[in-house]
Every structure is written in C-alpha cells, then in structure tokens.
Structure 1
Amino acid sequence: MNTVIAFIFMFGLLVFIHELGHLIFAKRAGMLAREFAIGFGPKIFAYRKDETLYTVRLLPIGGYVRVAGEDPEIVDLKPGYHIGLEFNDVGKVNKIIVNNKSKYPNAKVVEVERIDLDHDLTVDCYDLDTEEKYHYEVDRKALFVMDEKETMIAPYDRQFTSKSVGKKGMQVFAGPMMNFLLAIAIFIGLGFIQGVPVEEAVLGGIQEDSPADQAGLMEGDEVVSINGDPVEDWMDFVLTVQDMPDEDIQISVDREGEIVENQLTVGSVTERGETIGRIGVMASFEKSPGDVIKYGFTQTYDVTVLIINAVGQLVTGQLSLDALAGPVGIYSATDDIVQTGIMNFFTWTAMLSINLGIVNLLPLPALDGGRLLFIGLEAIRGKPLDPQKEGVVHFIGFALLFLLMIIVTWNDIERLFM
C-alpha cells in the first residue's frame, strides 16, 4: 500500500507541476485556459474557478491544459441556425444557447444571419415571430450553452493562435521547464536535509569493524594518496579503491594538518557479477547554503546529461526498446526504491521529473518538442502552418506514441513474470 500511495503522489506531482507551467504561462500571455486536467478519460473530480475548469480524470497517463485556439473552437454557428440569446444588464448577449432552448424560457430565440465571435463580437439575426432584424453586441465573457453545459467564448485575442511566436513558444516550453525546476528544488531540499557530499576525499562515517575502522582511519581524515599515488577528489578515491579488491594498500591521510600513514586490506563485494573493492567509509557531507544550492543545479545537470546520452543510444540503436520502462516498469522500480527510504524516493522523483522534461522536449509530434518545432517553422516562414495539417501530424504522432506505450508496457509485464 505504501508503494501505491508513493506512486500516486509522485505521478500526480510530476504531471501537476508540468501542466502548471503550461497554465501559468498561458494566463500570463492572456490566453483563455479552458481546462487544467490531471489524467485522461472520464472526470472523477471537477472544480471551476474563474475561467478555468480544474479536473482529475480516471486514467493516470498524463494531463493537459486545454487552451482556446489550440483546437477548433467549440461551436461553428452558420447562417440559418436557430439559437437562444440571453442578455446582461447592459443589453449585451451573455449566453448563446445552441440546443435544448425550451429549457431556457427567458432566452430570445432567433435565426442567425451573421455571427462573429472572434473579432467583432456581434450577432445579426432575425426574430422568428416578427422576422424583424436585430444587431446585438456580445459580451467578451459570454457563454455557449450546449447540452446544458456552459463554455466561455474565446475572442481572437484570447486564443493561442493570436499570440506572438515568443509567447506561444514560452507557453509550450514552460511545462518541461517546470519539471527541471522541480528537480532542482528537490535536490536542494535533500541537500539541506542530509547535506551534500564534499568534492574532496574527506572521510565521513566509518563502518564498524570494516577495513577502514580496523586500520584506524577516522571521520574527518582527508585522503592524500594511495600507495604513493595522489588522490584528487572523492570520486578518484572511490574508483581507486573499487579497482583494488582484496589488495593490501597504504593510505596516507591528512589529519588536522598531520600526515598519517595507514596499512589495510581492501574488502570486496560482488555487484552485477563484478567484484569491486570496499573499505567501509562514507563521504563527508556539508550543509552550507551556497554548496546546497549549487548541488541542486549540478545534480540536475548531471542527470540530464545521463538521460540525454541514453536517448542518443536509443536513437543510434546502441540501446533497444527493451531498455525503456513504461508505467508498470516505473511502478516496479518505485516499489524497490520505496523500501530503501524516503530520501531515495525523492531522489528517484527528481530523476523522473528530469526524464519527463527531456522526453517532452523531443521533436516528436504530439509532444511539447514537436509543437515547439512547428512554432520554430512559423518563426522562419513568418506565418503559421495550416492548423488542420498540423493537427493531423500531431494526431498521427499521438497514435504512434500510444502504440509505443503499449509495447513498452507489455515488455514491463513480461519482465515482471520472467
């Protein structure tokens, strides 16, 4: 049960932060954000605040922010349509009832001659009883009512397509950006809680009865050399010891300004079929604010490089699709990591957040990177591509990504039963 709760929390946090980035920058750009959704499929929770409907949906496979103008608008009213109109206190249309008009007795039923809800915000129509012609202004926050469901109209200046290339690009990029910022924040938080490892080869905790303990090494000792070879930093020290399992070595350490020589026999452990050296020491940690903040950025950078290299290996065929993990594989890995403690769980969360940001920036249709590619082409051409053609490309891309997810999930399930 702990794993289920941890997985739901982790998934919800990653998707929420990603979509929150899209939402914030949509609103900053003056776009109408119709819906902020976590998950897909049927709604299990809905709450409306101001212009935006906030929902949690049944299928936990992502989320979205539905911005006016990214898809075809809600209703295309043509001349000859019969609609109902309701008015506000200043005589402007504030409700346009498309069907079930009998349920709105205060609405004036008219026949449309011309309607412009993008630029002019006007309705030219005929009274069905008198055939008299009327011209009405439409309120900028008027509502469509279809099947008794209300949806705000979107004047052109509130639509995604009306904004500059810079604003559109920033709104799309904001989702992955927030995932990187979340990772930085998590690593900084972990740094303040448990400290960050110092770069120097300074010994932290000494395991009882370990080779280091038996040789008299002490917490705070800084390793100067091994067998006379200088040690540059902690990683150099770790790699050197790992390469010397079961060997007798001489370690020189700086202890409060005095060089102390220590003789010991390196222990050994087997990891993934390989025997490596261990002497039973841990890194030294510190919690200075400057180092902790730096650690947040450097850890995020290091993980980013690691994931990008893995993606490159997938593209070049050095890694197969079997190396990918879907929701089932991530859940299984989360189960293992939860058992090792909350610090490792949050480290895992930060790594997945970076992974989500990178994957979304890949220049593939239906992903943020694909949308950024189209926005870049718009900047080069000086005009947007045909929205219908772009929509077809994204639809095909989404279908292929969904197929890939099915394949990866099937591989995950097979691995669970191997």
Structure 2
Amino acid sequence: MDVLARLWFSLEILLGINFIIFVHELGHFMFAKWHGVRCPVFSIWMGPRIWGVKRGETDYRISLLPLGGYVMMAGENPDERTGAPDELTSKGVFARFQIFVAGTAMNFVWAFPIMILSFMVGKEVAAPMVGDVRPDTSAWESELQAGDELLSIGGTQVRAYEDYVKEIVRRPKGEKLEVEYRRGGQTRKTSVTVGTATTIGMSPISTVVAEVEKDKAGAASGLRKGDEFVSIDGIPVFDANEISDIIDRNAGKGLAVVVRDKAGASRTLTITPALGEEKWVLGIGRETTPPVVGVVRPNTPGAKAGLKPGDEIATIAGESVASFGALTQIVRPRAGQTVTVTWKRGTEAMSAEVLIGSQGGRGFLGIMPEPSNRLATVPADSALAKAGLQPGDRILTVNGKELKIVSSPSADDRKRAVKGEIYISLDQVEMEARAGKGEKLSFAVKRGDQSLSVDAAPVKKADGDLSIRLQHKTIMLRSGFGESIQRGCAEAIDVFVLTGQMLRKLLVHEEEASNLSGPVGIVSAAYKSATEGFGNLLWLLGMISMNLAVINLLPIPVLDGGHIFFLFIEKLRGKPVPARVQGYAAAGGALLLLSLMLFVTWHDIARMF
C-alpha cells in the first residue's frame, strides 16, 4: 500500500470521527441558542484558536488539535456564574434537559443517514462461511465445521458472517438457537447455545490474498491480490492460520496450490516459500505435543469410535503416531476412508474401525490434544535437542517458575501467567523465547525417576515466507435506494439495541469488559474499515455514532446522562444539587472513565500484538 493511500485512509478516519463529535456538539449548541443560553465559543477541534469568525456573541472557530470540538456555554463553570438570565443554570429543568440530551439525539439521528449511505455505496463483509471451530465453545458443541455456509440463526437470515455474530450477542446467555447451514449442496440444521462474545468459538473463512509484495516469493509464484486459496497439496484449506502454518513449515519446498480468482476461475500454482526473517525459537509446537486426547467433539468420528480424554493414539491406518502434529498430517488426506485406529487407555490397548470425517474434503477425527508438559518428540537441530532433552521428558519448571498444566486454567492462573508468575502451557514458553533475544532458559526436568536441570539456548531459525497477507473471504452488500433505506434504518436500530444489550450483559456479568474497545481499538478498526472501502468506513462511523448516543445517556457524571441524572434529582428536591456535590461527582466520574479508558486501551493494544 503506497504512502498516498495510507494518508487518504487516515484523512477519511480523521474527518469521519471528528464529524460524529461535531454533530454531537452542534446538538448542544443549537438547543442552547434556542433556549437563549449565551455561547461564547463554538469550536471545531480543541486547543488554541487558529482561525474563526465572530457572529453576535459567539466565536465560531477552528482550533489547533484535530480532536473533536466543544461548545462553551455561559454558567457552565460554577466560578463564573453571575445569575444572568442567559446562563445555562438560569434556565428551567426541562430546557436544560433538552440541551443536554440534544447531543445524544443528534448522534442517534445521524446514525440513520450514515448507515443508509453505507448500503448505497456498498459494504464489503465477511462471507457467511465457517473457517475454523474452536474447542470448549458453543460452536464446538454444535455440528458446524470448516467449509459450512451459514444460512440462518434463530430464524434470522444470515447474509454475512456478522449477522450470525450479532444474533449471538443480542440473545441472553444460555439460550439455544437453531442454525441452518449448507454443506456439500445439502441444507442441514444444528443448534448453538449462547455464551459470551469470546465463546462464539468460530471464525469466518480467511483464505483470500489481500496483499502481495512485489518481487517476493508469493508474487514470483504467480499469486495475485484477490486470489483465494482452495487447497494445498490436495488438502482443502479454510483458515489463514492453517495456511500460514503450512507455509512456515515448508521453506524451500514446492507446494501444489489451487487458487480461485475473483471471477471464479481456478488455476494450479507451484509455490515455493522463501526463507523468512530469522527468529529465536526453542522448537516447541504440535510436533512435540503428545498424541493424547484432550477434548472430543460430540457427534464426530472420534466420539463415535469411543475415544475419551486421556486416550493416547498409537497408530492410524498402520502408521505410528509420534505426536499430535503427526496425527493431523496422517488424518487430513484420508477424508471418507475407513481406517484402523489404535490407542492406549491407561494400560489397556484398544482399537476401532473409524470412518474419517470430511470438512470440505479435509479429513478430521474431531479431537483436540490434551495440554501436557511431556515432550512427545524432540526435533533434530532444535534448541531442545542441543540442550540434551529427549522424547518423554517432562518439564516441571522454567527459570524457577512453575509450569502448571491443566485442561482449563482458572481465571487466577491466567492472570498469573500474564504477569509472568507461572507458565500454563509449553506454547507460552515458546512464545516467550520468540519474543526474547536468545536468552537461555533453565528447565527442571523429570526423566523417568531422574530429576535433571537443563539449560536451553534458543536458536535462530527462519520459517517459510511468501510475503503475502490473507484476509476473510468477502462479499459486497450493495442495495438500491429503497432497500438501502430499509436496511440502513434496520441496521441503525439494530446497533442501538445491541449496544444496550451489551451493556446489560456487562452489568450482569454475562459479558467480559475486556471485549470493549477504546480509542486505540476504534482507530484501528476505522483504519481497517477504510482500507476495505468507503462503505465499510461509513458503516463503522454510523455504529460509533449510535454507540455514543447510548453510552452518553449512562448516568455517569461528566457524561450527558450524568447531567440529566442531576436534573432528575433537582426536579424531585425542588432545588439544584449543590455545586460542591456535583464537583465531587464529576471528579469521580472522570476518574471512572479514565480508568475504563486505560483498561480498554490496554486490551486494545494487547489484541493488536
């Protein structure tokens, strides 16, 4: 993406977000003037005045800092009140109520034309196709699988992936919803149970090439922007992480890749990943993970074969299974085949004939590995091998910190892991090594009856790289004038209702506060939307405008809802709340909002990395 495009996207975001804040302040200003309140300043942006014109009592100005705007009303500051009839506090309760609510009303009203325009321009959205299903989630308990096309949920048509997510968010936790989907040309039904936003457990198909760097491996192999990965070495693919993993593991090796262009035409390419940037690694991954069953998905080949958590897979189709990574490689090309699977349950040897399931042509058993501190294999030339670690070794501590392996870590253990007090998986150890600068790690190891101390120094290794960026498969939703009005109005009301429902779920602890977004998350989402098209940016601005309309009505001092709350008390008491009390409340409200802002900004940044 060139510099001019980045600057243009940034300008779109700056103007769009500032417009939303401008109409909010304009609402306050218009009603203040209507009720005869003196307004010395109406400013676009903040800080020192750089240009303006005075009309009557008001200085209409543009200020230096491009951060929203403000309206200054006489009598707002308690120290400047004189009791003059044109001051804000000299007006009646109902007049002040209208002035305070006007900003929210403007955000509410403007969300409708912005949404309508987004559908007229055209909005690019994620296709309603399943790319991945994660364990211990509502989707995992259903029969949905990668490659399925979502048709409806809870009786509501699904035209885009976001329609599915919105229906989950709007419904109360625990409600069971019927999902209609299409697989292999057949329409089927299943059900999902509503959880939180983080337990939807599904992501849309993400196999489309969004960017290809010139003169790099991907471009040299014939990949073009807009191409969609269909299969790699004959195995269907549906998820960007899966594609990236295959590319990482195959530096210098030719891969037979089938792609589909924007027009739907397929072609086969031989793609050879180049060596990417060297990184410090230990060598921990699926190849070192024991082939022990941790989770069995209901109604899958694994469940029907009788597999249970704790079972250790020994062979599949006569091939020895050394690790969970090896298990995946054996199963994927065998969709629809009946094979013999053997495993150990404690000291008992077991076996069954298993019909391998098919996810769009990709074989699967429907099991996930059990978290373990045991090394199933030790890759040659890895830091683990150079340190003398062997298959079967169990790692007990890392740098003196406990390696606490459980199938479902508690919230407290997760917090301790984030703080660096403990490790809750070997993957966490690998990630820490990759983020470091080659520092040695000291392992306390159990090898049979022996207790050992082993130092492992990460080694530099380059994964495969195509220099491409993948994104969700998208479809364009563009409507005519009449349908745009209908869909835009429905979408605006939908966002209004969903925002209220999300706040309710937060209050009753059905949703996690960490799922909220602050300024960093909003700007990041706005930039992404701008790159996807003007219609997407308009939709996001409409959503932000409606969010502001709802949130500003919360009875928190310093928000419009806080001012309205004090007016309600004043009406009941027959006199205003003392300025001192309002001052203390405002300080507390500001502290609360600042704390919330820091909290969500921290999580916004964490999500980016």
TM-score normalised to structure 2 length: 0.42
Q: Does the C-alpha gap of structure 1 residues 329 and 190 become closer, same or farther in structure 2, counting only changes over 3 Å?
A: closer
Residues 245 and 268 of structure 1 are in contact (CA less than 8 Å); yes or no, is this contact kept in structure 2? no
Residues 324 and 408 of structure 1 are in contact (CA less than 8 Å); yes or no, is this contact kept in structure 2? yes
Q: Is it true that 1:178 corresponds to 2:113 in the alignment? A: no
Residues 41 and 71 of structure 2 are in contact (CA less than 8 Å); yes or no, is this contact kept in structure 1? yes
CA distance in 2, matches of 1:346, 1:168: 32
Find the partner of 1:67 among 73, 77, 83.
73
The answer for the alignment partner of 2:90 in structure 1 is 162
Q: Percent identity?
A: 32
The answer for the alignment partner of 1:246 in structure 2 is 183
Q: Deviations over 1:178-198 (max 9, x none)?
A: 011111111233445559xxx
Find the partner of 1:372 among 555, 564, 570.
564
CA distance in 2, matches of 1:67, 1:363: 21
SS in 2 for 1:348: helix
SS in 2 for 1:369: helix
SS in 2 for 1:339: helix
CA distance in 1, matches of 2:359, 2:78: 60
Q: Does the C-alpha gap of structure 1 residues 56 and 400 become closer, same or farther in structure 2, counting only changes over 3 Å?
A: farther
SS in 1 for 2:183: coil
Residues 360 and 368 of structure 1 are in contact (CA less than 8 Å); yes or no, is this contact kept in structure 2? yes
Q: Is it true that 1:363 corresponds to 2:363 in the alignment? A: no
Q: Does the C-alpha gap of structure 1 residues 331 and 233 become closer, same or farther in structure 2, counting only changes over 3 Å?
A: closer
State the 1:325 CA deviation. 1.6
The answer for the alignment partner of 2:15 in structure 1 is 9
Q: Is it true that 1:54 corresponds to 2:246 in the alignment? A: no
Residues 304 and 355 of structure 1 are in contact (CA less than 8 Å); yes or no, is this contact kept in structure 2? yes
State the 1:53 CA deviation. 2.2
The code of the aligned residue for 2:527 comes to: D
Counterparts of residues 337-352 of structure 1 (less than 5 Å): 337-352=529-544
Find the partner of 1:301 among 478, 490, 493.
493
Count, aligned residues: 290
Q: Is it true that 1:287 corresponds to 2:480 in the alignment? A: yes
Counterparts of residues 32-47 of structure 1 (less than 5 Å): 32-47=38-53
State the 1:355 CA deviation. 0.9
Q: Does the C-alpha gap of structure 1 residues 47 and 314 become closer, same or farther in structure 2, counting only changes over 3 Å?
A: farther
The answer for the alignment partner of 1:398 in structure 2 is 590
CA distance in 2, matches of 1:23, 1:176: 12
State the 1:372 CA deviation. 0.6
Q: Is it true that 1:312 corresponds to 2:318 in the alignment? A: no
State the 1:403 CA deviation. 3.2
The code of the aligned residue for 1:48 comes to: K
CA distance in 2, matches of 1:11, 1:33: 24
State the 1:294 CA deviation. 3.9
SS in 1 for 2:504: helix
CA distance in 2, matches of 1:191, 1:248: 29
The answer for the alignment partner of 1:19 in structure 2 is 25
CA distance in 2, matches of 1:178, 1:360: 12
Residues 68 and 159 of structure 1 are in contact (CA less than 8 Å); yes or no, is this contact kept in structure 2? yes
Q: Deviations over 1:128-155 (max 9, x none)?
A: xxxxxxxxxxxxxxxxxxxxxxxxxxxx
State the 1:241 CA deviation. 12
Counterparts of residues 205-216 of structure 1 (less than 5 Å): none
CA distance in 2, matches of 1:358, 1:272: 36
Q: Does the C-alpha gap of structure 1 residues 269 and 25 become closer, same or farther in structure 2, counting only changes over 3 Å?
A: same
Give structure 1 stretches of 5+ with no counterpart: 76-116, 119-155, 196-230, 252-266
Q: Which one scores higher on RCO, CA 8 angstroms, separation ≥ 6?
A: 2
Counterparts of residues 111-126 of structure 1 (less than 5 Å): 118=83
SS in 1 for 2:72: strand
Q: Does the C-alpha gap of structure 1 residues 234 and 31 become closer, same or farther in structure 2, counting only changes over 3 Å?
A: same
Q: Deviations over 1:34-74 (max 9, x none)?
A: 22234444444444332122344455554332211121254
Q: Does the C-alpha gap of structure 1 residues 232 and 326 become closer, same or farther in structure 2, counting only changes over 3 Å?
A: closer
SS in 2 for 1:24: helix
State the 1:299 CA deviation. 1.6
SS in 2 for 1:318: coil
TM-score normalised to structure 1 length: 0.59
CA distance in 1, matches of 2:60, 2:155: 53
The answer for the alignment partner of 2:574 in structure 1 is 382
Residues 22 and 68 of structure 2 are in contact (CA less than 8 Å); yes or no, is this contact kept in structure 1? no
Residues 558 and 586 of structure 2 are in contact (CA less than 8 Å); yes or no, is this contact kept in structure 1? yes
Q: Does the C-alpha gap of structure 1 residues 62 and 311 become closer, same or farther in structure 2, counting only changes over 3 Å?
A: farther
Q: Does the C-alpha gap of structure 1 residues 326 and 44 become closer, same or farther in structure 2, counting only changes over 3 Å?
A: farther
CA distance in 1, matches of 2:160, 2:70: 47
Counterparts of residues 132-281 of structure 1 (less than 5 Å): 156-193=84-121, 234-235=157-158, 243-249=180-186
- Kindly indicate which of the two structures has a greater share of residues assigned to helix: 1
**RMSD of equivalent CA atoms:** 4.0
Residues 185 and 296 of structure 1 are in contact (CA less than 8 Å); yes or no, is this contact kept in structure 2? yes
